[in-house]
Amino acid sequence: MSDTSRSTRRGPAAVAGLVAAASALAVAEAAAVALSRPTSTPLLAVGDTVVDLTPLPVKQFAVDTFGTADKPALLIGTAVLLALAAALVGAAAGRRRTVGLVGIAAFAAVGLASVLTRPGSGPLDALPTLAGAAACAGVLLWLLGAASERGGSPRAADGAAPSPTPSTGDREDAPAGFDRRRFALLAGAAAAASAGTGIGARLLTASAPAAGLTPGNAVLPRPGDRAAPLPDGADLELDGLAPFFTPNADFYRIDTALSVPRVDASTWSLRVHGLGVGRERVITYAELLDRPDLRERDITLACVSNPVGGSYIGNARWIGVPLASLLAESGVRSPADGGPADQLVSRSQDGMAIGTPVADVMDGREAMLAVGMNGRPLPYEHGFPVRMVVPGLYGYVSACKWITEIELTTFDAFDAYWVPRGWSARGPVKTQSRVDTPRDGADLGRGRTTVAGVAWAQHTGVDRVEVSVDGGPWTEARLAEEDTVDTWRQWVLDWDAGPGEHRIAVRATDRDGHTQTSDQAPPAPDGATGHHTVTVTVA
Ligand SMILES: Nc1nc2c(c(=O)[nH]1)N[C@H]1C(S)=C(S)[C@@H](COP(=O)(O)O)O[C@H]1N2
Ligand SMILES: [Mo]
């Protein structure tokens, strides 16, 4: 149509593209809030989809580089790429409006595909993306119009002519009729309106009180079966040493959710079904809290992605219901007792699927459906209202947060989320130890120095921890009192530090007599190995 008669210069056209994209995100955000579907914004959904599609090495790189800031890093990266694309599409649309509209349609298609394939999404979730795309097209055409030449231009009629405005400055070639100040004003106003709308919408979602039963107002009964008091001397309380119980606020968080699910516990339920389940069962939060076998247990939770010496491990006093009893009530038998299912698949509100060996859950260990963490209802970040915790298994094969469904099946019949992504289907926690103090790279004074850390050999127990300085003989450290075989154990050793640079290595031996290997292995596919070693300089 008017494609060639209303050409717009590249610079202003790119700006128009950028502002149009910003308005798209803002309108989508506002629409998502208005529909009270805060997770249906295309940026988040695309981000979530990228997370799911990212191959393991890239994911490991992201975790190694950004740690638990990998999510903001992903969103910022996505936004930067989007801005680049928007500027390019805008510049192209300056020449041909249809290119712009096709570009917007392509982005809307990606957004729609992401939004509509997120777990639990419905047709309504398409609206924010569609509204955003409409706003984008409107703002783009409007700003391009404001920045376009109006007749009298030398290149107006002939689309095939080489551009008369190659790399010279804007000013001398500014076409007649293009009011630079007016364009700047309009673009600035549109950008400001977008920023205001987007930020306002975000603030509204962030401040909106969550409905129903929340971590703030749920009240947990005092479990009849309390955890034994922590033995004296289990927490050495040394400077620089991880405390025995990890406060909820400091507990590591690893999951694929870009926005934390905020499940209302009053409408939450858990469905238990599948192979060998006598009768399908649906359990509510109130029913869980009412159970006489509600109990309190100390369990250390570790992530398979934890590098040697890393911080993706924590220890908490959990409140929950024994998972084995619940399964037994539903008729489930362990494969060891002839049960047909060898895999328990737990699914979550946000579409995660985690596979756990039924044999492990039913072998007598304290596998739990947890509702409480260190005396409080679970925080949203750690799976409110209910999550699984299984001592001795890495989180990715056991610790489903925001759990909504348990299906009994087989490992042959189903690959859980992490398996096609390069992680082992079974993930027992490897015996490991860590030096917490002194820190790697520390500068120390000479003389008596406290070396201390934690060690874990889950469900077996730590028998011995040894330290070697500069490759010398292994010296036995003093172990703190043991809480249970399912928790980590602190250790400490006095070291007489002489001047120079020193390497301090640690290794643990479990009660089966197995000593940690010195072979270095990366986290994938089934957990890192090697001795944690810190290098310090003594003056
Ligand atoms: N729904 C859901 N549950 C999940 C995950 C997830 O991505 N989604 N990640 C698992 C992994 S890999 C680990 S290590 C633990 C971490 O639990 P935390 O974040 O409470 O420490 O949660 C597990 N449960
Ligand atoms: Mo993990």
**pLDDT tens, 175-227?**
556 788 888 999 999 999 999 988 888 788 777 667 799 999 999 999 999 99
In one-letter notation, the amino acid at residue 262 is R
DSSP letters along 465-533, please? EEEEETT---EEPEEPPP--TTS-EEEEEEEEEPSEEEEEEEEEEETTSPBPP---B-STTT--BS-EE
**Helix %, strand %, coil % for the chain, to 5?**
35, 25, 45
Residue 360 CB–ligand 1 contact under 6 Å: no
Asked if 331 and 279 count as a contact pair (C-beta separation under 8 A), the reply is yes
Tens digits of per-residue pLDDT, 32-62? 888 877 677 888 888 888 888 887 778 777 7
Q: Which ligand minimizes its atom distance to the CA of 304?
A: 2
Mutating to test ligand 1, I would choose from 52, 68, 254 the residue with most ligand atoms within 8 A of its C-beta, which is 254
Domain spanning 432-538: which CATH class is it, in words?
Answer: mainly beta
**Residue 428 vs residues 304, 306, 344, 465: alpha-carbon distances, Å:** 9, 14, 15, 20
**Ligand 1 pocket, 79 CB below 6 A?**
no
Q: Is 396 in the pocket of ligand 1 (CB under 6 A)?
A: yes
Dihedral of CA 99/105/108/110: which sign?
Answer: negative
Q: Is 254 in the pocket of ligand 1 (CB under 6 A)?
A: yes
Enumerate the domain spans of the chain.
Answer: 10-150+180-205, 248-409, 432-538
What is the distance of C-alpha 464 from the center of its chain?
34
Q: Per the structure block, which two tokens stand in for 270? A: 């858990």
Residue 274 backbone dihedrals phi, psi, to 5 degrees: 120, -165
418: CA distance to ligand 2 center in Å? 10
Q: Residues 289-303: what's their mean pLDDT?
A: 97
Express each pLDDT in 110-160 by its tens digit: 888 888 887 777 788 888 899 999 999 999 999 998 888 664 443 433 333
User: Residue for token digits 């950008």?
Assistant: 191
Dihedral sign for Cα 397, 402, 408, 410, please.
negative
Q: Per-residue b/e over 290-325, b at no fewer than 16 CB within 10 Å?
A: ebeebbbbbbbbbbbbbbbbbbbbbbbbbbbbbbbe
Longest dimension (CA), the chain: 90
Gap between the Cα atoms of 521 and 305, Å rounded: 12
Report in angstroms the alpha-carbon separations of 222 from 320, 419, 537: 11, 38, 50
User: Does ligand 1 come within 6 angstroms of the Cβ of 147?
Assistant: no
Listed residue (409, 316, 413) closest to 371, CA to CA? 316
Nearest ligand, CA of residue 405?
Answer: 1
pLDDT of residue 158: 39
> What's the pTM?
0.84
Q: Which residues, listed in sequence order, are joined to residue 409 by a DSSP beta bridge?
A: 343
352 Cβ closer than 6 Å to some ligand 1 atom: yes
Distance, in Å, from the CA atom of 521 to the CA atom of 519, rounded to the nearest integer, reads: 6
400 lines ligand 1 (CB under 6 A): yes
Pocket test for ligand 1, best of 255, 304, 311, 369 (most atoms within 8 A of CB): 255
pLDDT of residue 6: 62
Q: How would residue 23 be classed by pLDDT, with cut points 50, 70 and 90? A: very high
Q: Percent of the chain at pLDDT above 90?
A: 71
pLDDT value at 525 more than 80 = yes
- pLDDT at residue 160 in the model: 38
In this structure, which residue's CA is closest to atom 6 in ligand 1? 255
Please indicate whether residue 310, judged by its CB atom, sits closer than 6 Å to ligand 1. Answer: no
DSSP string for 8-63: B-HHHHHHHHHHHHHHHHHHHHHHHHHTT-GGG-HHHHHHHHHHHHS-HHHHHHHH
Tell me how far apart the terminal alpha carbons of the chain are, to the nearest angstrom: 78
Query: Could you identify the residue written with the tokens 């989180």?
Result: 395
Give the residue-averaged pLDDT of 342-362.
97
Q: Find the mean pLDDT for residues 105-112.
A: 90
Mean pLDDT in residue range 361-383: 98
- Detail the DSSP E strand segments found in 265-394: 269-274, 281-284, 295-302, 313-322, 343-348, 353-357, 368-373, 376-377, 387-389
What CATH topology corresponds to 248-409?
Sulfite Oxidase; Chain A, domain 2 (3.90.420)
Q: Quick one: 352 exposed, middle or buried, by C-beta within 10 A (0-12, 13-18, 19+)?
A: buried
Q: CA–CA distance from 522 to each of 310, 397, 455, 467 (Å)?
A: 12, 18, 19, 22
How far apart CA 25 and CA 31 sit, in angstroms, is 10
- Nearest-angstrom CA–CA distance, 240 and 9: 60
What pLDDT, on the 0 to 100 scale, is given for residue 142?
Answer: 92
Answer whether 486 contacts ligand 1 (Cβ < 6 A).
no
pLDDT score recorded for residue 275: 98
Q: Which backbone phi and psi does 81 adopt, to 5 degrees?
A: -60, -40
